[in-house]
Amino acid sequence: MKRKIMSLTFFILMLSFSIGGTFLLGFVMNEQKDKLGNQALLVAKTVSQLPELKTYITNNNFNEATKHINPVVEEIRDINGAQYIVVLDMQRRKYSHPNTEEIGQVSQSGDLNAAFAEHYYTSIAHGEHGDMVRAFVPIMNNEGKQIGVVVVGYSVLTVAELLQSIQTELMMTILLSIFFSAWGAHTLGLHMKKQMFGLEPHEIAKMYVERTETFNAMHEGIIAIDNELTITIFNEKACEILCVRKQPSTLIGKKIMDVLPDTRLPEILELDKPIFNRELYINDHSIMSNRIPIQVNGKTVGAVAMFKDRTEVKKLAEELTGVKAFVQALRVQTHEHKNKLHTIAGLLQLGHHEQALSYLTQVKEEHDEITNFLNERIKNENISGLLLSKISYAKEQGIRLEIDRESRLTAFPNNLDHHDFVILFGNLIENAFDALRDVQMEEKIIHVSVDEDEDVLAILVTDNGIGMTDEVKAHIFDNGYSTKEKKGRGFGLYLIKEIVQKGQGEIEVISEPKKGTSFLITFYHT
């Protein structure tokens, strides 16, 4: 590849020098003509002022006049290097000429007409031996009357003659051009090789195709921009998630604001730091996004966003906070039912039939009561199932989880759904379990209340656990903050804060060490 780049660069440089040289040569030729024209005009004016001309042109003896005029004019011609100097009277007879046979002849040239009307001018004649620059100057006597014309001609060098005249300089220029062209091509080739990480063009093309196909095969939306806010990457999944009805390839090179006016990607260029796991609304779609600045050699050159549809992310979060709880509840209920069956079997074996029947009735009534309550007051099976699982788990842990029988949940606040509330309830109750886990007390209690009316939805979760200090309370909503040493913790309350902010609600925390904690979340219906 290096040799190809060098050859191409060398060819381009030499072509550039050739084109430049052609224009320069044309310029020099024009300059030569202008210079010769001025010189011819100056010589012609000098000759026209000679006293011999004014004296002898008006002399009736033509032969005597030419004997005096021609030698003087020829001497001036030799000194100034002119091709010819011709002196004519008003009858256009030649009084001087390098070719003596022309002396006495009458000129038939049409270029002389203006000169015999007292005009000074130059012209270029095209002949067999090349171009000739000629100057025409009228000869005036002492009374100001025209008595003749002086014509001075200079031969214009041809291109070949001009090149031959500067052949030494030309050869030096060509050699230096070749040297610097080769050096420039070599330097440029090395630079391009370094910039392309030593890859061949076909390897770069292959990598581009593979990169594009890889991005399109990913299950995450990917959008990247440069410092000029121009789109450099826009994969098919991004189009699908954000409902952009265009081919990804047609979006490359466009400004991000023209495609997605409400994007939050340009702010990463201003912040120059990554933002992870942030829920955003873009193009009327909710996504969970990670946005990261792109840095090359320590300098930010763009930004990239990787995101998923919020519903998929919420399902994953729900699995962590809800589905796992359901599985756990099944295990707890299985264990609980086994204990109850053992109790009933023992009573029957001892012959206490009435006590066994009474115990069975009590268990059924307790289960039916909580089940009926949840079905009637909590109008979402995901939330009611989660609360039922938490009640069963609390029993196994020796904790009494009370749900206020006046609680009611029939609708979700704006921008929120059951996925958000599974995360909300799941993390609040799990946080209460943590607060009671290592506490030694006679009765461990968690109280849950959901108060709903036309204007307000309020959720209250309290426990009588270890409580929190003011220092801990100041950081509980920070992403990744936890008082536990176990990795992977510290995200629950952060998710709660994100959900409350999205629903435009308020959250209040009341806690006192060794006395317990209360979380009050309030949403206002609009």
Residues 225, 254: contact at Cβ < 8 Å? no
526 pLDDT higher than 80: no
Concatenated DSSP letters for 72-123? HHHHHHHHHT-SEEEEEETT-BBS--SSGGGTTPBP--GGGTTGGGT--EEE
User: For 349-390, what is each residue's pLDDT tens digit?
Assistant: 777 667 766 666 666 666 667 778 788 888 888 888 888 888
| Listed ranges 7-11, 227-231, 239-243; the one with the highest mean pLDDT | 227-231
Band (pLDDT 50/70/90 cuts) for residue 155 is confident
Comparing 491 with 59, the larger pLDDT belongs to 59
**Planar angle of CA 135, 141, 144, nearest 5 degrees:** 95
Residue 517: the pLDDT is: 93
279 pLDDT higher than 90: no
512 pLDDT higher than 70: yes
- Summarize the confidence of residues 453-466 as an average pLDDT: 91
Comparing 315 with 417, the larger pLDDT belongs to 417
Residues 306, 287: contact at Cβ < 8 Å? no
Distance CA 318, CA 309 (A): 14
Distance CA 306, CA 16 (A): 46
Residue 161: the pLDDT is: 65
10 pLDDT higher than 60: no
Residues 420, 314: contact at Cβ < 8 Å? yes
Residue 21: the pLDDT is: 65
Comparing 47 with 348, the larger pLDDT belongs to 47
Pairing relationship of beta strands 275-282 and 285-296 according to DSSP bridges: antiparallel
Residue 505: the pLDDT is: 92
- Summarize the confidence of residues 184-205 as an average pLDDT: 67
Distance CA 216, CA 233 (A): 10
What integer best gives the mean pLDDT of the chain? Answer: 79
Residue 488: the pLDDT is: 42
Distance CA 216, CA 237 (A): 7
As beta bridge partners, residue 518 has 462, 510
275 pLDDT higher than 90: no
118 pLDDT higher than 70: yes
456 pLDDT higher than 50: yes
Q: Which amino acid is at 195?
A: Q
- Summarize the confidence of residues 237-250 as an average pLDDT: 84
Q: Indicate the range of 124-138, 157-171, 280-294, 313-327 predicted with least confidence.
A: 313-327
- Summarize the confidence of residues 258-284 as an average pLDDT: 80
Comparing 525 with 480, the larger pLDDT belongs to 525
462 pLDDT higher than 90: yes
Q: Which of 150, 135, 190, 154 is nearest to 2 (CA)?
A: 190
Band (pLDDT 50/70/90 cuts) for residue 127 is low
Band (pLDDT 50/70/90 cuts) for residue 149 is very high
Residues 505, 413: contact at Cβ < 8 Å? yes
Distance CA 452, CA 379 (A): 12
Comparing 183 with 22, the larger pLDDT belongs to 183
